[in-house]
Chains A and B, each alone.
Chain A
């Protein structure tokens, strides 16, 4: 449904995206995960036809974003990171204006609006000014708005940013049911790991490059076994000691030494015994997407 080939984008001399390739299948929930400044927003702007890439191609539902942006715009619904609602208008008025932008009117539009509001639980707020709605409700209006013309692809940019955990769960429930019941393909950008974990597949973006791609489970399995985190005052000495003693290459990050290892519980006991007094606290967990990111880039995500 979405094909991205050899996509590169430069802002002047700065390279924001470097040779990006990926494909999103119909009906997938696909995530772009990475820290701010990693290239997600640039990629999102190109896919949503707000900007042309300097090199490479991207097609959505068979149409090229540069050659035929109008066809792409008919196929996509876009939910922006910032608000795209008119606060001085009511929920209904915002939706109606959006429908008009897509050439919808009359009975068709009324029916689509009623359906979209019903779908996102907004029917009883239809006559409220957007200004009076909570952040979570506004997000739902944004989605209702993006769905009015029945797009085949929904693009969501950091859609859950600024929402409390309950509103965030509510949002992902709506997204999941959209995919299941309407077969909408969803591409979302996020820096929230929990949200990325719910995607079918994702790519990890760092400094404009794809550092890993696959399903959350596949990505996590790149790290064999467990992750052990050791907090220490002098992380460099500890890391060097671990290399000498166990022949393991740890990564050090913000006062922590991170070791990927099978049977981490055994290593934990040995390492604490080997460096008495040097370790302030220890932790062991199964690999998370954050670990995958650190594993691939040596940098933290948030």
Chain B
């Protein structure tokens, strides 16, 4: 049998999965509305209500990205029982390449929706020049990547989507609430502040506030970047290890 280069055996499956996510998304454009609309409404209500749109902007943007990441990774559960993931599991493509393709694809979607949300930045008084757009877009991609990785790690071992919803309500949404999205770390009560310290999302929000020159950019820029990047890397490795595991329990 004719076989491609080992390199293409890794990148081709990853690329095809990435592309699949984008094509599916393009064909279900109404998903954009679902993901962007609710954070936008939350943001406008809280922002105008408290007369401080700037303060809640980064949080709302991260929520958009988080919703998108959750929707994309939740599909893993169904897709593995009945869907395209089944044939991936019995294909010779390395599991790590499948994981990379799936996470990059979902992260790209989250990123695109984050960019759509970025169009509302002027309402928060944020002016972004062409040159600033590059670091801003890069940071939004990094945050998209970490949240998708988080979604993947949760979804991979899940038997049902109901379980994912429970985790979303008990872990992901509270995690977002104590990330500086709603109140800054410096005014938070003692134990909440401690949670904020160890919450990786705090660093994502802070990183966004830094690049968008918004208030409440704490911890510092370098710390925020390093923690967010490390979090993403750890999640990617964890996803790869989980997916590559052999088991006497069925993979689907």
Contacts and interface: CB of A to CB of B under 8 A. Distances in A.
Interface in B1-57: 1-4, 8-9, 12-13, 15-17, 19-20, 23-24, 27-28
B86 A105 contact: no
- Interface size bracket, A side: 35 or more
A97 B87 CA distance: 10
Nearest to B15: A100
A168 to B, nearest CB: 21
Residue from the set A66, A69, A100, A108 with the largest chain B CB neighbour count within 10 Å: A100
Nearest to B14: A100
A193 interface: no
A138 interface: no
B81 interface: yes
A49 interface: yes
B90 A97 contact: no
A209 to B, nearest CB: 19
Interface residues of B, number: 36
B247 interface: yes
A186 to B, nearest CB: 16
A285 to B, nearest CB: 38
Contacts of A300: none
Contact of A102 (B15, B89, B93): B93
A98 interface: yes
A283 interface: no
A11 B88 CA distance: 24
A50 interface: yes
A50 B81 CA distance: 12
A73 B89 CA distance: 9
Contact of B246 (A45, A52, A85, A98): A52
A258 interface: no
A104 B5 CA distance: 10
B84 interface: yes
Contacts of B187: none
A51 B247 contact: yes
Interface in A6-56: 9, 11, 45, 48-54
A45 B250 contact: yes
A145 B28 CA distance: 24
A78 B90 contact: yes
Given A97-B16, A103-B9, A49 B24 contact: no
A78 B87 CA distance: 8
Nearest to A101: B91
A50 B248 contact: no
Interface in A95-115: 96-98, 100-105, 108
Nearest to B28: A88
Interface of A: 9, 11, 45, 48-54, 66, 69-71, 73-74, 76, 78, 80, 82-86, 88-89, 93-94, 96-98, 100-105, 108, 145, 149-150
Interface of B: 1-4, 8-9, 12-13, 15-17, 19-20, 23-24, 27-28, 81-84, 86-93, 246-252
Given A97-B84, A103-B13, 5 more contacts: A76-B90, A97-B19, A101-B87, A101-B93, A102-B92
19 contacts: A9-B248, A45-B252, A50-B252, A53-B248, A66-B246, A82-B82, A84-B82, A84-B84, A85-B83, A88-B23, A88-B27, A94-B84, A97-B17, A100-B15, A101-B13, A103-B13, A105-B4, A149-B1, A150-B1
